[in-house]
């Protein structure tokens, strides 16, 4: 898997869903490896046509298993190093999920509430970005399945998602919202 060029210090990602669009502002200085991984995967089109498979009201909305099983398997164990916690896991902040040291790969969660407890432990869940537009869209993602449709990274309960992709999720959890496209909208942001 080729690595893209170094990501900008700050860039905007546009995420189009079945509920509308939201924007993530990614910061390299918050989580260098996380911001770079999102940039690479966005440029690869990895997240396009996938599902928000784990949405728990007031806690998080999670995505990041490719809809195509072959693509999902290819990236599943392609991990990135841990980053230090710079920003808290407060509402609207975005980070990669992990199951322990050096296990972050493709799965991302958006904090729907104050998840400061994610700041504790090693490795910490280090946010790389923040929702800057469309948090109402994120809040409206279907949460009726809760943990049933995609929790269990540590327990291996996500294996059917990796093996079956969108076909599995659409059959067993048809109300899940879709992530239609995730793409770099603004390659860099000038704060001057």
Per residue in 22-65, pLDDT (tens digit) is 999 999 999 999 999 999 999 999 999 999 999 999 999 999 99
Supply 113's token pair.
């509430």
Architecture of domain 12-186: Beta Barrel (2.40)
- Partners of 95 in beta bridges: 109, 127
Yes or no: say if 109 and 150 are a contact pair by the CB < 8 Å rule: no
Maximum distance among all Cα pairs of the chain, rounded to whole angstroms: 49
The string of pLDDT tens digits covering residues 60-114 is 999 999 999 999 999 999 999 999 999 999 999 999 999 889 999 999 999 999 9
Mean pLDDT on 167-178: 97
- Domain residue ranges in the chain: 12-186
pTM (two decimals) = 0.93
């Amino acid at each position: 898997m080729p690595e893209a060029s170094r990501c900008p210090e700050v860039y905007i990602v546009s995420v189009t869903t079945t509920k509308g669009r939201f924007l993530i502002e990614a910061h390299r200085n918050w989580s260098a490896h996380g911001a770079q991984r999102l940039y690479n995967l966005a440029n690869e089109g990895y997240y396009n046509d996938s599902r928000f498979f784990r949405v728990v009201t007031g806690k998080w909305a999670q995505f990041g298993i490719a809809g195509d099983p072959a693509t999902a398997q290819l990236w599943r164990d392609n991990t990135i190093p841990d980053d230090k916690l710079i920003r808290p896991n407060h509402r609207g902040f975005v980070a990669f999920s992990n199951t322990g040291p050096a296990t972050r790969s493709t799965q991302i969660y958006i904090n729907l509430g104050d998840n400061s407890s994610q700041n504790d432990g090693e490795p910490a869940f280090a946010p790389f970005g923040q929702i800057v537009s469309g948090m109402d869209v994120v809040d409206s993602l279907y949460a009726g399945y809760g943990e049933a449709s995609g929790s269990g990274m540590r327990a291996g309960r996500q294996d059917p998602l990796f093996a079956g992709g969108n076909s599995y999720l659409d059959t067993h959890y048809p109300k899940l919202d879709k992530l239609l496209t995730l793409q770099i909208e603004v390659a860099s942001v000038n704060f001057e």
